[in-house]
């Protein structure tokens, strides 16, 4: 019997907008096909010889020595990075001809992300889909909670592909036993609507840093009262007020955030110049170069110069624009907390510090793309584009995130001293 399903309300509304979508789901991706669906396709092709040519070109067996039943075969994208099964309206012709049952788990469920925690399934959404981003940014922040849901909203009720599973008992690692408690605290902080955005981020960094002295990967015991005390402390109104005061007074005179942002984006551009995020970043950097009196971003020798241009741009916008952008960034964080699990990192603080870098990059690009006088809808369109392109190029690119992690670690930047300059710049 299927476990009970919880879902973010905006994912209950999700419907693929197909030919109205500004992108395709799978360009440049390696789409894995599980063994059962590969066999299903083989059977269908055997009955339909006209499908043989495209099948033998598009569907290849995974010969890697780490291949498993889940990654038994894969779709070979064409020279432009598109799936050969896409028709001229950018719709999946396999889906149209044969329905959902022939699609691999990845294709059938994308952009739904299912995680399992102690027999409860949770449905969240991948921000690499622009329609999910639109729904996520449009939903009231108070509705970013998991609610009981009818499993009829899933593409199928059996053989549900689960992204991550956590089943704990008294013998489980301590890091896993307390995962849900810490995850819920992160969610509650991101939804502290009585605090401004910078205050919430500082509390996230401070809380995760504090607990990381007693709660980390491979810790063998944990004083649960101490963990609870850290949680109680951050909801204390006096504490929130003192952080809010500190953040309002904090003047960031170091270009550190912009240097980190510039370095990560440059690396991304060098690795994948064909990606849309790289093209957006190219436009941003060239625009900044022009404002600095250079003809191209290649002439800028000091990454700190970007910080000056960014500051001037940032100050051009009204409070209502800042509130709109910050509301979007808080919703991005909430999506991450539901979908990603900090126990995949050595400590909750390292997870948060990496997240601060990611959200700083998104904030930098959004402010670099919007213009004074734009309507709230235009700003939302830009935020949607930036977030889904960022999710495709960075959030879902684990090898790239690993490189960023190693670089930050080598520079000793996974340290609380660097959190505040990354938050407010």
Rule CB under 6 A: which residues touch ligand SF4?
A: 16-18, 21, 23, 25, 110-111, 129-131
- Tell me the closest approach of the beta carbon of residue 22 to ligand SF4, in angstroms: 8
Q: Give the C-alpha separation, 368 to 309, whole Å.
A: 9
CB 103 within 8 A of CB 37: yes
Nearer CB in complex with ligand SF4: 132/352: 132
What is the spatial distance between Cα 22 and Cα 24, in angstroms, rounded to a whole number? Answer: 7
* Shortest distance in whole angstroms from residue 129 CB to ligand SF4: 3
Residue 85 vs 110, nearer CB to ligand SF4: 110
Minimum distance of ligand SF4 from residue 386's CB (angstroms):
15
Crossing angle (nearest 10°) for helices 276-291 and 256-271: 130
Pairing mode of beta strands 4-7, 73-75: unpaired
Q: How far apart are alpha carbons 212 and 350 in whole angstroms?
A: 9
- Angle at the Cα of 86 (from 84 to 88), degrees rounded to 5? 115
Nearest distance in Å: CB 135, ligand SF4: 10
Nearer to ligand SF4, 16 or 166 (CB): 16
Least gap, CB of 188 to ligand SF4 (angstroms): 29
Q: How far is the CB of 38 from ligand SF4 (least distance, A)?
A: 22
Angle between helices 319-339 and 197-211 (to 10 degrees): 30
Nearer of residues 137 and 356 to ligand SF4, judged by Cβ: 137
Helix-strand-coil percent breakdown of the chain, rounded to 5? 60, 10, 35
Task: Give the strand order in the sheet containing 120-125.
Answer: 147-149, 4-7, 120-125, 112-117, 164-166
Question: Residue 306's closest CA among 350, 253, 364?
Answer: 364
Of 135 and 211, CB closest to ligand SF4: 135
Provide the minimum distance between the beta carbon of 418 and ligand SF4 in the complex, in angstroms, as a whole number.
Answer: 35
Residue with Cβ nearer ligand SF4 (130 or 421): 130
Sign of CA dihedral 411, 406, 164, 6: positive
Quote the least distance from Cβ 336 to ligand SF4, whole Å.
18
- Which of helix, strand or coil describes residue 61? strand
Complex with ligand SF4: residue 25 or 334, whichever CB lies closer: 25
Taking the complex as a whole, how short is the minimal distance between the CB of residue 349 and ligand SF4, in angstroms?
A: 33
Reported residue count of the chain is: 425
Closest distance to ligand SF4 from the beta carbon of 126 (Å) = 9
305-310: Cβ within 8 A, 24+ apart:
306/255, 306/258, 306/261, 306/262, 307/255, 307/257, 307/258, 307/259, 307/425, 308/255, 310/258, 310/364, 310/367, 310/368, 310/425
Nearer to ligand SF4, 23 or 51 (CB): 23
Q: Report the Cα–Cα distance between both ends of the chain, in Å, rounded.
A: 50
Residues 6+ apart with CB under 8 A from 231: 181, 185, 207
Closer Cβ to ligand SF4, 29 or 310, answer by number: 29
């Amino acid at each position: 019997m299927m476990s009970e399903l919880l879902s973010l309300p905006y994912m209950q509304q999700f419907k693929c907008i197909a030919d109205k979508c500004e992108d395709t789901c799978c360009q440049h991706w390696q789409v894995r096909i599980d063994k059962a669906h590969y066999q299903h396709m083989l059977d269908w092709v055997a009955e339909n010889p006209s499908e043989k040519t495209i099948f033998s070109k598009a569907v290849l067996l995974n010969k890697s020595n780490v291949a498993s039943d889940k990654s038994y075969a894969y779709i070979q994208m064409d020279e432009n990075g598109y799936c050969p099964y896409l028709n001229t309206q950018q719709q999946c012709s396999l889906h149209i001809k044969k329905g959902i049952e022939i699609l691999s788990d990845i294709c059938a469920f994308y952009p739904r992300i299912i995680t399992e925690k102690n027999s409860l399934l949770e449905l969240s959404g991948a921000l690499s889909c622009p329609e999910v981003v639109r729904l996520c940014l449009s939903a009231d922040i108070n509705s970013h909670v998991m609610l009981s849901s009818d499993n009829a909203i899933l593409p199928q009720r059996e053989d549900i592909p689960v992204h991550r599973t956590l089943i704990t008992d008294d013998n489980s690692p301590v890091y896993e036993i307390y995962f849900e408690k810490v995850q819920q605290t992160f969610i509650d902080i991101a939804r502290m609507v009585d605090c401004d955005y910078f205050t919430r981020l500082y509390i996230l960094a401070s809380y995760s840093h504090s607990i990381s002295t007693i709660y980390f990967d491979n810790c063998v015991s944990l004083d649960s009262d101490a963990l609870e005390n850290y949680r109680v402390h951050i909801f204390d109104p006096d504490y929130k007020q003192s952080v809010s005061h500190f953040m309002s007074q904090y003047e960031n005179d170091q270009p550190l955030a912009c240097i980190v942002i510039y370095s990560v984006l440059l690396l991304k551009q060098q690795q994948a110049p064909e990606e849309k995020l790289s093209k957006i970043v190219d436009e941003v950097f060239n625009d900044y170069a022009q404002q600095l009196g250079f003809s191209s971003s290649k002439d800028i020798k000091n990454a700190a110069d970007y910080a000056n241009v960014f500051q001037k741009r940032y100050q051009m916008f009204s409070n209502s624009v800042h509130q709109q952008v910050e509301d979007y960034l808080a919703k991005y964080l909430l999506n991450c907390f539901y979908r990603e699990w900090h126990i995949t990192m050595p400590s909750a603080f390292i997870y948060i510090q990496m997240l601060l870098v990611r959200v700083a990059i998104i904030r930098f690009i959004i402010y670099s793309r919007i213009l004074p006088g734009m309507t709230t809808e235009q700003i939302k369109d830009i935020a949607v584009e930036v977030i889904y392109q960022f999710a495709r190029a960075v959030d879902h690119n684990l090898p790239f995130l690993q490189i960023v992690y190693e670089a930050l670690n080598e520079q000793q930047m996974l340290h609380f001293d660097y959190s505040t300059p990354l938050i407010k710049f």
